[in-house]
Homo-oligomer: A and B are copies of this chain.
């Protein structure tokens, strides 16, 4: 099962809009926080670090949801339910730098920790709904 993000909402994937990512805790309850995202043409990509709550949740349970609100109009948004299809460290340092460029206008991610292992999560949209 795979869903397409409508063309007229793709700007939300490229503009400086945060996503709110919901993952599932070990007890089945949800967790949600704002994250940086980008889009590789088919998947929404999130970048986190090994060992964090989101990392553990997505490794245990690949079912996630995202909502992306238009920073220029909060009543326009994209809501995606989907599945983490790939989790990889390959390219994750370059990816967090490219997200820092998108969101902060900086060439390198400025908050890197020495012991931190960055990870990319590729999320395949399964259900997409739009508002606005």
Contact = CB atoms under 8 A, between A and B. Distances in A.
Nearest to A69: B34
A12 interface: no
Interface residues of A, number: 26
Contacts of A21: 32
Interface in A1-29: 18, 20-25, 27-29
* Shortest beta-carbon contacts, A-B, top 8: A20-B20, A22-B22, A29-B63, A22-B30, A22-B32, A30-B65, A32-B65, A30-B30
Given A27-B63, A29-B63, A29-B65, 11 more contacts: A18-B74, A21-B32, A22-B32, A24-B29, A28-B63, A30-B32, A30-B65, A31-B79, A32-B67, A33-B67, A34-B67
